[in-house]
Amino acid sequence: MTRTLKQTLSAIKDDLAQGRRPQATPAELLCFSQNALTGNPDISPEYLEVILDSLGPEDIPTFEAALDKLNTREPAWLGFKVVTNAALALDSVDTEVVGIQGKGAGSADAVPGVFVATEDKQIIFSRPYSERDRFQMLDITRGPHMHNEQYIGLAWLSMPLMSEGRVFMFGAGEVSHFIERMAADCDFETIVIDDDAAYLNAERLPLSRRVLLESFATIPDLDIDRSDYILVLTRGHMHDPEALIYGIKTGAQYVGMMGCLEKNERVFSLAQAKGIDRAQLEATHTPIGLKFGAKTPAELALCIVAELIQVRYENRKKSQDHT
């Protein structure tokens, strides 16, 4: 049975403390999965074994920090230094564009390892690292493969230690179809809710968890919490009032509804008749998405996912400011 990330990191820490060689699989450390490495010709899932072989008791603080970040949900990433060619990793030349030349320009060593990097530029790593290594380790906060192509012989993989966000899409129409791929590419988890299996199926929405309803009149408890995002996108807007009311009552940090001003005002009136305060309605992101002239389903999906990214970033900044 595949362990959770927390269970995997705890087991690795315990193995290191007991002097055992730690065990983990690409299914548990997903940045080493075949799917995550698609398009990366230099790294295979088997490289995880090299990483595990490289670990020792000195790495325990890194895994303790990773577990702490998991518990606190502080924006942080678990990173992996991947050495594909030791000689080239040490000898790669930096350019004036990067701004790291002379001392600190190459990698400190050609030893693989595991580290933690946070959005406020903290690094926990048992290995020595150069200025160039630091530059790339902090780049993992921008994505798992940022600037991997810049230096030959060395690459960096990563996975978030906090939830990047769950997006609940009420409605399995065309816009949801486009949102799914874009949101997944930006590390959001997507859940789609609809009452029609002809729209809600693996062929149309292969990346999402799918919840088939008997009726939008009786939406079950979906375990939505304050950190989640809710998109009201029901097909033909037929069930927007039910979905909007449900979304507001969950207390989710983001509730957005697609539609023109006139339609949305009618939905607001129907929701008010059901006891929802006007202030709660006006606090939603309605109309949904950043405004840049989007018209087609793909363009609308783009403006919606862009707004989700913006809200996620703003919430991370608030979290940092309060720590």
Q: Which tens digit of pLDDT belongs to each residue from 202-249? A: 999 998 999 999 999 999 999 999 989 999 999 999 999 999 999 999
User: Which DSSP letter does residue 230 get?
Assistant: E
Angle at CA of residue 164, ends 163 and 170, nearest 5°: 100
3-state secondary structure of 113: strand
Least confident of 169-173, 187-191, 296-300, 314-318: 314-318
Of the pLDDT bands very low, low, confident and very high (cuts 50, 70, 90), residue 322 is: low
Q: Kindly state the average pLDDT of the residues 139-145.
A: 68
User: pLDDT higher for 215 or 30?
Assistant: 215
Q: Kindly state the average pLDDT of the residues 180-199.
A: 93
Q: What b/e string do you get for 6-17 counting C-beta neighbours within 10 Å, with b at 16 or more?
A: eebbbbbbebbe
Per-residue pLDDT tens digits for 107-130: 888 999 999 998 888 999 999 998
Question: Could you tell me which residues are beta bridge partners of residue 232?
Answer: 170, 257
Tokens at residue 223, please? 């375990």
Tell me, what's the pLDDT at 148? Answer: 56
Domains present along the chain, CATH in parentheses: 5-160 (no CATH), 166-321 (3.40.50.720)
Where are the extended beta strands (E) located within the chain? Answer: 76-83, 113-118, 123-125, 154-160, 166-170, 189-194, 209-212, 229-232, 254-257
Tell me, what's the pLDDT at 13? Answer: 97
Q: Is the pLDDT of residue 164 over 80?
A: no
Tell me, what's the pLDDT at 145? Answer: 54
Sequence-separated (6 or more) residues with CB below 8 Å from residue 18: none
| Helix or strand holding residue 171 (H, E) | none
In whole angstroms, give the CA distance from residue 18 to residue 51: 18
Percent of the chain with pLDDT over 70: 90
Per-residue pLDDT tens digits for 193-207: 999 999 999 999 998
Of the pLDDT bands very low, low, confident and very high (cuts 50, 70, 90), residue 321 is: low
Prediction pTM value: 0.70
Of the pLDDT bands very low, low, confident and very high (cuts 50, 70, 90), residue 146 is: low
Strands 123-125 and 113-118: antiparallel
Q: Kindly state the average pLDDT of the residues 36-54.
A: 90
Sequence-separated (6 or more) residues with CB below 8 Å from residue 146: 136, 139, 140, 156
Percent of the chain with pLDDT over 90: 63
Q: Rounded mean pLDDT of the chain?
A: 89
Q: Is the pLDDT of residue 103 over 60?
A: no
Tell me, what's the pLDDT at 186? Answer: 84
